[in-house]
A and B are shown apart, each in its own frame.
Chain A
Amino acid sequence: MKFLLPSLLIILCLAFNFSIAQEAKSLTGTVMDVEGNLPMPGANVYWESDPQKGVVTDLSGNFSIALVELPAKLIVSFIGFEPSIRVITTNDLQKELRFFLKAEALSLEEIIIRGRNPEDNIKGIELGKSSVPIETIKNIPALFGEVDILRSLQLLPGVQTAGEGTTGLFVRGGSADQNLIQLDGAPVYNPSHFFGFFSVFSPDALCGVEFYKGNIPANLGGRVSSVVDVSLREGNFEQIRGEGGIGSISSRLTVDGPLFSDKSSFIVSGRRTYADAFLRLSSNPDINQNDLYFYDLSGKFTFRAGEKDKISFSSYYGSDFLGISRQFGLGWNNFVTAFNWNRNISSNKFFDLNAYHSKYQYQVQFQDPQDGFNWTSRLSESGVRAEWTWLGPNNSVLKTGYQGQIYHFSPIVLETAPESDLDDLNTNPSTGVQNNLFVSVSGDIGQKLMVEAGLRLALYNEIGQGVIYTYAGGVPDREAEILDTLRFDRFQNMKGYQRFEPRISLRYLISPNLSFKSAFNRNHQFVQVASNSSAGLPIDRWIPAGTYIEPLRGDQTSVGFFQNLAEGKWEISVEGYYKDFRNVVDLRQGASVLFSDNVETELLSGQGYAYGLEFLVRKNIGKTTGWLGYTYSRTWRKIPGISLDQWYNPRFDRPHDVNLVLNHEFSKHWSAALTFVYTTGQAVTFPIGTYEVDSQKIPLYNDLRNTDRFPDYHRMDASVTWKGKDKGRKWRGSWNFSVYNLYGRKNPFTYQFTDIINDDFRFDQDSSVPVESVRPGVVMTYLFTFLPALTYNFKF
């Protein structure tokens, strides 16, 4: 494989006859949506005289089209928008051309999911990629009315949830920490609020989501299962605008507009919950002295420095806090900042620079002179990615670049109260440096075949300051004696890994509306979460690869058929995949990792595999839009020390998964949405008996893990939206009423195996009521049955 890929790249370069040095005469410009002033990727641009040689705008809405004899008519079109036709003369070649497309006056038959060209489904080489327009996400009925990007992604085939209400993504057999969730190129380490029930992304500030679950491009990497690439929206360059909403648990406001001149713009967005405000209204000090809130702040500054350069600076800060009686507090926050520079070097050469810093930290504090403590933990990643893109003939694209990353895990510190006799705790820091070189080349070979080959080389080093423990027998084990402690100075190399990550994919056009795609993708992951619970907690510990922890590896092979029907109104796809995992970690029984400086002694390592078949039928145009997805998938792990060293299913192995998303526009004022979810129950371990030890009645478990199942999960959500009149009004409002779990299905969240006293599972053992009977029983906890929410949304 080492020699195959470079050879293949060279062959492909030759096949595409790259003319990198050759400057083609061409016309460049940008296509924008006139309403949101947003760039429109995927718009068609072609000369009226030669429609066969059209081009498609890139992610920034930019295009470059070879010149024909001028003057000539240039047509810019996008489905659902009125085409723009302009006569181009030689004078226009000196200008920065912008084409503003206006949405068609939609009839009831033509409501369109925008932001995506239906042809991409067939002709694009991407496999296992979904672009979810923010408008679609906003229409999906939401828990508490809180529109949530990550929860929306759970409605796509191949994505599982850990359980009711949570936003963690389990993509094609991968666990939640195997997803690179990034905002404007910067990773977000804990993308959830309120213990995972809400994601950190406020919808109004976002442009859209690119979701890669299959063939992750060579310029992205670092996680083995998926990339969730979230983009903050650019502010518009025309006038100050705003939008927001007042919801059941939070309110939000976003303002955007030009800044200083028509070349720069800003957007600022905020969201905050107000449960704590209601708590303070209570006269009961046990309630009014508690705090419970989260908030987000995000902003982006964009500057168009001439015709060829665009610079943006974006930042996000999100925080959660839970406080009890002004004495105990648990808080965590993400701070993410990114700088992006996009330069059009020429009509067929582009340069993109992304520099970022991401920090996550939590703090647990208890104020008491004797038992108090202050526990803090912080991790960060800083990086820079430089990427060059060349567009060649035959739709060929060459991308190459470099990404450098520094992971830093600060010492976990627990400071005890001054009067405490407990010693403070302080772990050693750890730092990882990762240099990545990547190259990919894609293009048409003939009329029907398109091929993309990529290679990413990851050079990872664990560096000082830090320590390596030497264990008796060379194997880290709790019981093993520590023979030596090696201390490393700052930047001193401790352990290194070099990993090649090949990617190759192809698309074959069987007919103009039917294509076959296939891909192989290898990724390595050098940081992962040491946890064996399914849902992430704010205090989860991330651990870097090092002397005893090898980087996680994920190989995925996928194939798929894609078909468009009725001129792109319907999309149908069938995708199959097989994934192989190596060096997956899990915790030993009774492991304690939060404060341990010897985390390696608490871990077990093994392998896994997953496979699945995903069906998707999607309707993009018409008064009714949406999709129906079905996935059959299985996931297995084999980790020595767990489940008698046999293969077992992780909790998120849920073979059958059905998702239905429907939107219907009744009129210009009324619309409705409905979602239905059905999945096989989670894989869990139920008792097979009971026994008594240490005066406790204990459930007896099978030695094999997760051989039982929760009952199947299903739920229907619905929402109705009423929009006021738009024309001539500066303030436009709409009301959204949604119901989560419409028919009140009692989906289990947990089962407790406990004694039922006096036939009352709520019996209070501290009460004076005599105990008359005791029998074993099972108590089910379930969440969110028929949960209505009302949200007022507005724009101005």
Chain B
Amino acid sequence: MRRLLLPLIAIVSFSCQEEVFLPLENTEPIPVIEALWTDNPSINQVRVSYSKDYYDTASFEVEENAQVSIRNLRTGGQVNFRFNQETKKYVAERNISGTLGESYELSVKIGEKEYSSTGTILFPPLLDSIVYNFREERIFREEGYYLTVYGKIPFADDNNYRIRMVKNDTLLNSRFDYLLFDDTFGTNILDNGFELNGFPFKKNDKVRLELYRLNQDAFDYLNQLVGLLFNDGGLFSPPPQNPTSNIKVKSGGGQVLGYFMASPFLSETIIIDPGEAEEDE
């Protein structure tokens, strides 16, 4: 709602904008850990970087010498990660992946400091099919082809989902591209098709849809992240705060940023073929 109201207020209120320089305080670099652990080995990765001064134009510093591992809390089995110079991320040795239903502990050691987090790879919902339909332009919707996801959510709890879209091999990652949903509006959302309204496509677009089922703390982190991306610091926004990380400082003190997302991974790729699409009614 706030996203809708703010532009309207701004338009009607004779607002003007200009770039300004504000003197801002700085702080020591804080480690940022971003870990994705799923049942699919190709996307599992851990990135360790550092924060920097706001006006600093240099790239974010990446930590290359961290000791990264993930341990199965039930079996005690541990997977070590190695740094990949090409992607600047840590990847699991021997391409090992997580197992559905298992809980894991992430450990990241940087020098004397150690950070950890836990998460469970929950069972995924059922994803039956994805179809697409052409929709004409209307309020809050551009003209284009829109995906509809069919499936079933059979769970009573832990219904926290994220959908990511990759269009023509490019991840859609603007602040408008976050699709997070829970069971606030029930669990029948996939039964008769869930049309993804925020994502218009053109013919011949190659689209990969990724569906994640998140633990509550990771879901909360992403929700707070989206809130922060839309926070303009104005009267109608809550005071800005860093999203609450689910990664804890185990030893060595200091702060840590980022999050650990353990999740099942569902993916489907389609190409928009106008001949197979239904017209808007």
Contact = CB atoms under 8 A, between A and B. Distances in A.
Given A590-B227, A691-B32, A776-B57, A162 B235 contact: yes
A756 B57 CA distance: 11
B51 A689 contact: yes
Interface string B1-32: 11001001110111111111110111101101
Contacts of B25: 686, 688, 702, 708
A700 B30 contact: yes
Contacts of A706: 239
A691 B233 contact: no
B179 interface: no
A166 B53 CA distance: 34
Interface in A351-390: 364, 366, 368, 370-371
Contacts of A708: 25
Contacts of B197: 371
Interface stretch (B69-77, B116-124, B240-248): B240-248
A234 B223 CA distance: 53
A699 interface: yes
Interface residues of A, number: 80
Nearest to A703: B242
B191 interface: yes
B237 interface: yes
Contact of B54 (A163, A197, A534, A690): A690
B263 to A, nearest CB: 13
A195 to B, nearest CB: 6
B88 to A, nearest CB: 11
A533 interface: yes
A738 to B, nearest CB: 15
Interface in B240-271: 240-244, 257-259
Nearest to B53: A689
Contacts of B184: 425, 595
Contacts of B49: 691-692
B201 to A, nearest CB: 15
Interface stretch (A19-27, A127-135, A320-328): A320-328
B186 A422 contact: yes
Given A421-B191, A423-B185, A685-B233, A761 B14 contact: no
A751 interface: yes
Contact of A761 (B17, B50, B185, B193): B17
Interface in B25-74: 25-27, 29-30, 32, 34, 49-57, 60
A330 B190 CA distance: 28
B224 interface: yes
B189 A589 contact: no
Interface string A39-51: 0000000000000
Contact of B242 (A416, A684, A700, A778): A700
B200 to A, nearest CB: 12
Contacts of A686: 22, 24-25, 233
Contact of B139 (A325, A690, A762): A325
Contact of B20 (A535, A695, A779): A779
Nearest to B138: A327
A700 B51 contact: yes
B235 A166 contact: yes
B257 A691 contact: yes
A694 interface: yes
Given A421-B191, A587-B238, A691 B52 contact: yes
Given A328-B139, A689-B52, A750 B238 contact: no
B192 A684 contact: no
Contact of A533 (B185, B229, B237): B237
A537 B139 contact: no
Nearest to A423: B186
A479 B246 CA distance: 14
A589 B32 contact: no
A666 interface: no
B175 interface: yes
Nearest to B241: A589
A292 interface: yes
A535 B235 contact: yes
Nearest to A752: B232
B114 interface: no
B1 A693 contact: no
Given A590-B227, A651-B239, A688-B27, A693 B50 contact: no
A445 to B, nearest CB: 48
A657 B173 CA distance: 44
Interface stretch (A617-625, A727-735, A781-789): A781-789
Contacts of B191: 421
B15 A782 contact: yes
A698 B228 contact: yes
Nearest to A692: B60
A532 B238 contact: yes
B15 A776 contact: no
B2, B140, B223 pick with most chain A CB within 10 angstroms = B140
A705 interface: yes
Interface in B178-214: 184-186, 188-195, 197
B222, B233, B258 pick with most chain A CB within 10 angstroms = B233
17 contacts: A423-B186, A533-B236, A537-B2, A590-B223, A651-B235, A651-B239, A684-B233, A687-B24, A691-B30, A695-B173, A701-B242, A746-B16, A751-B20, A752-B233, A753-B54, A781-B16, A783-B15
Q: Top 10 nearest A-B pairs by Cβ distance?
A: A423-B186, A750-B234, A535-B235, A422-B185, A691-B51, A590-B224, A532-B238, A325-B139, A695-B173, A750-B232
Given A701-B241, A776-B55, 16 more contacts: A165-B13, A195-B5, A325-B138, A421-B194, A589-B224, A589-B244, A684-B239, A687-B24, A691-B50, A692-B32, A695-B171, A701-B242, A703-B242, A749-B234, A750-B237, A779-B19
